[in-house]
Chains A and B, each alone.
Chain A
Amino acid sequence: MRILLLCMLLLLAPEFTRAAEEGLIDITAPATRKLQLAIAPTTALSGPAAPELGRELAELLEFDLALAGLFELSAAAGDGAGADLLVKSGYAVDGSALTVECRLFDQVLNRELTAKRYTGGIKDLRRMGHTFADEVLRTLTGQKGPFTGKLAYVTKRSGNKEIFVMDYDGHNPQRVTNNGSINLNPDYAPSGKEIIYTSYKKGNPDLYRRELFTGLEARISSRPGLNAMGAFAPDGGRIAAVLTKDGNSEIYLISKEGKELARLTNNPAIEVSPAWSPDGGKLVFVSDRLGKPQLFVMDADGSNLRRLTTSGAYNVTPRWSPRGDRIVYARQTGGAFQIHAINADGSQDSQLTSAGSNEHPRWSPDGRFIVFSSTRDGAEAIYLMRADGSAQTRISRSKISDSHPTWAPNW
């Protein structure tokens, strides 16, 4: 009886679906457009007026939301007439304390979409602004923005290659290492509270893990030879790293305390630059086992190896998108590197940059942006762009060499 009923339902289902679809009236529109967003001038809510604070907040919101690529910012008329969305903000200064209120209105539906109040010190103004920009994206798209995440990067501003962190827009640089040696390849833990990096401070390129809030640090791998290119797994408990302890550059899996868990590659060729898929089930890495450096994908236990890139003679530094669909990497073309992105199945390889030499691409935690280093303006500097290669923007504010950026998931 049950089988009979099931069969009847299965037979009738397409009829019902077709009948339902035939009753639909299609409303279509040409290619999607950007939302018109107006940012009203920031006003003083109470207390003394501080126009420079209001200006800075409005400029910050404008920069963040323009970069998002969803909006067309219109002239900030006070009432936002003609715009789809309107952002209003105000501040109140009391001594060194600062309160900021931000609201997002839907002008068409005539309703307030979100409203937030932030309290802190005046020094926290930019953080408050970035937090609200994140909130605007969360409200409109369902996914929080990446603007509060900080960038860790390598800079030569003190003469040596040291690791710094800064806001994603280049403000508030802060020193992380100060050992006068060479420090490379920072990578954030999924929590955003600690990083791993390679340092020559004790002579050998060893792998270190450092808590950013406390400054506590541990040398987690000091095996003979190279201990480099560590990449935190999405679970935060494992690290894929390149070790040459056995005489050849191979990819290993180690715990965050440094204990060796597995050797993932075993080949006479050079294997470097491991990067995790967002689900932690796969790794993409670089190998020259076929003669030239190319990207390969394997399961997290080293099995099911397959070649990803089939074009280009020198493909390096891959990173898997947080959304899992794309892999970004650098390809050497005509003496310079350019950023490319390719689908995780090896299709749709597209070049994203063309000016200067561009390397070390990393995704923003939401997958909307790619941060990278470029020599297009002379010295190596940090830039970012949208995932489709548009809106390439310089982030570095110093004229000293900045490179190896990586975007924190949270802060």
Chain B
Amino acid sequence: MIRRSRSRYPGPEGMFALSFLFHLAVFLIIAKSQLLPAFHPEETPVTYVDMVTLPVASPQSGSPAPAAEAAPTPPTAAPPATMTLPQSKTPPKPQAKPQAKAQEPSASGAKPAKPAAAPDDGREFSERMARLERLAEERRQGEVLERLKNKGGRVGMPGANGTEAGSDYSSYLQSRLKDAFSQVVASQTKSPQVIASITVGPDGRIAEYRVEKNSGDPLFDDAVARAVTIAGRSLQPPPGGAQFKRVFRFRPEGVGVR
């Protein structure tokens, strides 16, 4: 009996291993969904998708004969599938034939007017089609932009009041740190680098500067600390009145750049 109960209980090591596996699995699930962008290479910004899938033409815009009648139809009501309508009236075949005929008269010199009529019709139709499609596209892009504007309320960072830095606070902070770093960078080793997390408080001051990995070169480590101090003197607050935290890697230019 004792043996049976022991065989079911995997012992402290087994329990530890099971616990570790469980935690690892939980961590991987969290990491996969939030922390590891490398696991989602296909992910793309929503706005980009929205812009490239704009409808390109209305059914009426491609109809050559009753152009006046087609105008009142609202373009938004037209299903994109009817784009192929013009092609049913002017198949690709007639376009190819007139072109071939047009070359014959130029070679023989007889009756140039008649054969030229067919290509003119085709070209005119194509130009009209293109013009109409362009107009329709511009109109629809304008409508989509208008819709996006209305949806966002106003342009800028949510909750911003106009005194904060621009929409990309990371880039702004990077720029300020780079300027400050150029003023104080000093080292005595060949390829030093410091990895540090910087937290900017809602008031625009450096709330926390924590070195995650130093360079082993005290001269360089101190230079980074000085750069952060200098940059922190004149920072704009982060947008939305929240703290802003990022991890930065400081190094002399050209060192370990991939």
Contact = CB atoms under 8 A, between A and B. Distances in A.
Q: Which of A1, A12, A28, A70 has the most CB of B within 10 A?
A: A28
Given A22-B37, A27-B174, A31-B253, A8 B24 contact: yes
Interface stretch (A32-40, A93-101, A177-185, A248-256): A32-40
Interface string B180-211: 01101111100000010000000000000000
B181 A32 contact: no
Contact of A84 (B35, B184, B195, B253): B184
A18 B38 contact: yes
Nearest to B254: A28
Contact of A109 (B28, B173, B226, B255): B226
A95 to B, nearest CB: 40
A31 B255 CA distance: 10
A contact patch SS? mixed
A5 B17 contact: yes
B14 interface: yes
A33 B186 contact: yes
A221 B187 CA distance: 46
A26 B88 CA distance: 57
B251 A28 contact: yes
A215 interface: no
Contacts of A26: 174, 248-249, 251
Nearest to B192: A32
Interface in A113-166: 140-142
B251 A108 contact: no
A15 interface: yes
A25 B218 contact: no
Given A32-B186, A140-B222, A23 B247 contact: yes
Given A18-B38, A23-B247, A141-B188, A28 B218 contact: no
A142 B216 CA distance: 9
A141 B216 CA distance: 10
B247 A109 contact: no
Interface string A58-84: 000000000000100000000000001
A27 B220 CA distance: 13
A18 B41 CA distance: 13
Given A19-B36, A30-B253, A70-B188, A24 B248 contact: yes
B182 to A, nearest CB: 4
B230 interface: yes
A23 to B, nearest CB: 6
Contacts of B219: 35, 70, 140-141
A83 to B, nearest CB: 11
A29 B182 contact: yes
A221 B176 CA distance: 67
Contact of B187 (A25, A27, A28, A32): A32
A349 interface: no
Contact of A35 (B38, B186, B251): B186
B64 interface: no
A288 interface: no
Nearest to B173: A25
B contact patch SS? helix
B229 interface: yes
A299 interface: no
Interface residues of B, number: 47
Contacts of A27: 174, 177-178, 181, 227, 248-251
B134 interface: no
Contacts of B229: 108-109
A24 B195 contact: yes
A108 B230 contact: yes
A34 B186 contact: yes
A327 to B, nearest CB: 19
B185 A33 contact: yes
A211 interface: no
Given A35-B186, A142-B218, A19 B24 contact: no
B20 interface: yes
B33 interface: no
Contacts of B70: none
Nearest to A69: B188
Interface string B138-169: 00000000000000000000000000000000
A25 B187 CA distance: 20
B193 to A, nearest CB: 9
B49 to A, nearest CB: 23
Nearest to B20: A5
A31 B252 contact: yes
B111 to A, nearest CB: 71
B170 interface: yes
A390 to B, nearest CB: 14
A299 B182 CA distance: 45
Contact of A24 (B13, B39, B230, B247): B247
Nearest to A139: B218
B188 A30 contact: no
B225 interface: yes
B225 A25 contact: no
B248 A19 contact: no
Contacts of A19: 31, 35-38
A84 B184 CA distance: 8
Q: Which of A27, A29, A84 has the most CB of B within 10 A?
A: A27
Nearest to A18: B38
B113 to A, nearest CB: 68
Nearest to B177: A27
Interface string B6-38: 000000011001001100100010010001111
A124 B140 CA distance: 88
A29 B246 contact: no
8 contacts: A25-B249, A27-B248, A29-B182, A33-B184, A33-B185, A70-B186, A70-B188, A108-B229
Across the A-B interface, the 6 shortest Cβ-Cβ residue pairs: A29-B185, A108-B226, A24-B249, A28-B253, A29-B182, A29-B181
